[in-house]
Amino acid sequence: MADGRPSQMDGETVEHGSEAGTRAVDSASETTSESAAEIDGTDLVVGYSGRDEPVIDGESIAVPPDEVTALIGPNGSGKSTLLKAMADKISPDDGTVFVDGQTIDEFGSKELARKLGLLSQENVVPTGISVGDLVERGRYPHTGFFESPSDEDRAAVDDAIQLAGIENLRDRDVDSLSGGQKQLVWIAMAIAQDTDVLLLDEPTTFLDPQHQLEVMQIVETLRDESQITVVLVLHDIAQAARYADNIVALKDGSMYARGPPEEVVTKQLLADVFEIEAAVLETEYGLQVIPIDPVTDAQAAHTTVGPVPEDVPDTDREP
Amino acid sequence: MAKVFDRLTNLRAGTTDRYEVSKLALIIAGSLAVLLGSTILQVSFGAYPFTLVEAWQTVFDPAVLSSLEVWRWAFLGAAVPEWLTRQQLIVWNLRLPRILVGVLVGANLAVSGALFQIITRNELASPYILGVSDGAGLVVLLTLTLLSGLVPFLPILAAAGGGLAFLLVYAIAWKNGTSPVRLVLAGVVVGTVFGSVQRALFFFIDDLGVAMSAQAWLSGTLMNAGWAEVRIALPFTVLAMALAFAVTQELDVLALGEDRADSLGMPVEKVRFAIAGIGVLSTAAAIAVAGLIGFVGLIVPHMVRNLVGSDSKLLLAGCLFLGPALLVSADVGARLALSPVQLPVGVITGIVGGPYFLYLMRKKTDLGEV
């Protein structure tokens, strides 16, 4: 299981797209290509300049199209780094990222931004900008140099705002919103970008339960109603188990396990990857993970995991 | 149902737009009023005073305004029409071009200030933040002290010096790309060195007149502004303004931070350099005809942003009007307050600018973030 490379989970391509037509304003998703894009990384070696050891050392990932894939792992396991490499934010030292079979470098910058969107953890809010205006900026890759927003752009913005459930905030200044509301606005902006692949870096980490649920339900709706491939980094294992179609567990920059939640989220994995003793319960609300005790180093010594390198940068900001 | 809701939200979105546009209209109307008032004051008073009515009548004299000869003289450098009266000459040859240069300089400084504030993501950035002023200042001093034969070309040389210093700042800041912080720090490096050399050069001036003119350049003045200066500044100003308004969409995206701009498919480095280039062109046009006028490029974008928010189109439009209004009215003070002594207008903008910032510091807690 530790080396799951042969069993890449690109087996089934579920077409959810036929349900999309029921929405009132849907011109945005109609204009995209017929099926959602596939995003693969092969033999990725990713590091940061100034560090000897790469964070990710020779991993491959194939994300099945049209599904939600969650990356989980402890702090410093390289999940954000992997996501950034897939988004072309960090160019890998070795290996290639493919979107729809084309290497990521072959795309023009705006062309890539129409295929692939990334929502980072930290976002800058300019002063005195209304929610509607901010979401509209997500249309940048779709507008030419001298063009003003078209009807299509406006429809995409309306659509994104509706999908994110922030109609009531539309005219508010973004400055004046709470953290959770802001996150919904950023997600609306990413939706307005109308990409085939959407990468979300810890979209729920600093939110209250209500907004966490809202965000995850938006992701679910996106998956069900548009043809979009979603990859997201999550800290909450139970959340990943509930909402993701596939889970990839990372430990020290390697892929420890991948597959559907029922297969991946196990007592053994939680002990090996997260170094916690936990109970995994199957309930009517899906898998529940109940952390019980941290596994100390002495206890962990018998597990299959190799020595933990100390110099992996902690890319996960703690609150 | 959803459609009704959509229409409602559209309607509401429309009203906020109108609200902000109406604030922009207020800025424009106010600026034009200040500009007109300043023009009348500036034209009436001086060594050869007119009544306000006379001033008004001479400025809006249909015989002059409709004369092709006058326009050719003003904008193409043709001979002065001989039929102009003494009064018309004073207004049209001395006082009006100074106002016009003030308008151009004010627009340039305000708009380029807004551009630099966005690309450095720093509300306290001015058009001079990337070394332009220090390069221009150094060249001015070099020309006045060591290369006095080149003094007639001083405006062009100063602008070129500013441009070169900007390129130097960019080269220093570049290391696999730049960042706002690296650019600002490189600006400080270049500014410190150039500023020191420039001050050292002052000790090689033994003629008081040369020292005065160097000081006037460094503080910024419209004292010598005439139609020749209008002709130098106008084409570059028009070009820079057209370019600035062409990139408002890029500015809006860049204001979201480099990361987000990159995710939205913007080639951030190229766009940033291009926008900085537009800003430098605009600043250089202002420096060439008026020297280094401070604070206008810093305060005006600030004031406009406080009123209309940071939507680039509204911001630049506001700057385009408020900049001239502020500079021309400050020049009224510079020219008339201690008459017959004329102060450099940069002194007045500094005196007005300082307290404005004090007010901002007291009022806003999050000063310094765009």
Whether residue A314 is predicted with pLDDT greater than 70 in this model: the reply is: no
Cα(B307)–Cα(B26) distance, integer angstroms? 10
Of B263, B256, B175, B269, nearest in space to A89 by CA = B263
Whether residue B368 is predicted with pLDDT greater than 90 in this model: the reply is: no
Domains and CATH numbers, chain B: 99-363 (1.10.3470.10)
Average pLDDT over residues B135-162: 86
**What is the predicted pLDDT for the residue at A297?**
64
Average pLDDT over residues B34-61: 89
**What is the predicted pLDDT for the residue at A217?**
93
Query: Range with the lowest mean pLDDT among A238-247, B138-147, B236-245?
Result: B138-147
Cα(A30)–Cα(A39) distance, integer angstroms? 21
Of A137, A158, A161, the CB nearest to B256: A137
Q: Which residues does A contribute to its contact with B (CB < 8 Å)? A: 23-25, 87, 89, 108-114, 117-120, 122-124, 126-130, 132-134, 137-138, 140-141, 143, 145-146, 158, 161-162, 167, 170-171, 173, 193
Average pLDDT over residues A35-43: 77
**What is the predicted pLDDT for the residue at B316?**
96
**What is the predicted pLDDT for the residue at B175?**
86
Cα(A217)–Cα(A164) distance, integer angstroms? 9
Portion 109-128 of B in contact with A at CB < 8 A? 121
**Residue, of B346 and B148, whose pLDDT is higher:** B346
Whether residue A182 is predicted with pLDDT greater than 50 in this model: the reply is: yes
Structure letter (DSSP) for residue B198: H
**Is the CB of B148 inside 8 Å of chain A's CB atoms?**
no
Average pLDDT over residues A28-53: 69
Please state which CATH number belongs to domain A17-128+196-213+223-265: 3.40.50.300
- Helix ranges, A71-178 (H): 79-86, 109-115, 131-136, 151-163
Q: With beta carbons under 8 A apart, name residues in chain A contacting B9.
A: 132, 158, 161, 167, 170
pLDDT tens digit string along B61-99?
888 888 888 888 888 888 888 888 888 888 898 899 999
Percentage above 70 pLDDT, chain A: 82
Q: Over chain B, what is the mean pLDDT? A: 87
Cα(A257)–Cα(A240) distance, integer angstroms? 14
Average pLDDT over residues B274-295: 91
**What is the predicted pLDDT for the residue at A230?**
93
Q: Over chain A, what is the mean pLDDT? A: 80
Cα(B80)–Cα(B63) distance, integer angstroms? 15
Of B6, B249, B256, the CB nearest to A126: B256
Model confidence at B6, pLDDT cuts 50, 70, 90, reads: low
Average pLDDT over residues B197-207: 87
Query: Which of B16, B27, B122, B263 to substitute to test the interface with A, most A CBs within 10 Å?
Result: B263
Q: Residue B246 belongs to what H/E stretch?
A: helix B227-246
Of B275, B287, B288, B285, nearest in space to B243 by CA = B275
Q: Residue B321: helix, strand or coil by DSSP? A: helix
Average pLDDT over residues B235-244: 95
Query: Range with the lowest mean pLDDT among A269-273, B1-5, B21-25?
Result: B1-5
Average pLDDT over residues A227-240: 91
Contacts of A85 (CB under 8 A, 6+ apart): A41, A44, A46, A56, A91, A92, A97
Portion 227-256 of B in contact with A at CB < 8 A? 246, 249, 252-253, 255-256
Cα(B59)–Cα(B55) distance, integer angstroms? 6
Of B3, B15, B246, the CB nearest to A146: B246
Average pLDDT over residues B330-344: 88
pLDDT tens digit string along B247-264?
999 999 999 988 899 999
Query: Range with the lowest mean pLDDT among A28-32, B182-186, B230-234, B285-289?
Result: A28-32
Average pLDDT over residues A12-29: 38
Whether residue A148 is predicted with pLDDT greater than 50 in this model: the reply is: yes
Average pLDDT over residues A245-262: 90
**What is the predicted pLDDT for the residue at B52?**
86
Q: Do B13 and A146 touch (CB under 8 A)?
A: no
Q: Residue A259: helix, strand or coil by DSSP? A: strand
**What is the predicted pLDDT for the residue at A318?**
41
pLDDT tens digit string along A287-312?
888 889 888 765 554 544 444 444 44
**What is the predicted pLDDT for the residue at A22?**
37
Cα(A194)–Cα(B99) distance, integer angstroms? 50
- Give the residue extent of every domain in chain A: 17-128+196-213+223-265
**What is the predicted pLDDT for the residue at B357?**
79
Angle at which helix B154-173 crosses helix B268-290, to 10 degrees, equals: 150
- Assessment of whether the complete model's pTM goes beyond 0.90: no
Contacts of B88 (CB under 8 A, 6+ apart): B58, B61, B64
**What is the predicted pLDDT for the residue at A105?**
87
**Residue, of A55 and A8, whose pLDDT is higher:** A55
Q: Do A120 and B259 touch (CB under 8 A)?
A: yes
Cα(A126)–Cα(A134) distance, integer angstroms? 9
Average pLDDT over residues A11-16: 38
Q: Do B311 and A117 touch (CB under 8 A)?
A: no
**What is the predicted pLDDT for the residue at B280?**
92
Q: With beta carbons under 8 A apart, name residues in chain B contacting A123.
A: 256-257, 260
Whether residue B186 is predicted with pLDDT greater than 60 in this model: the reply is: yes
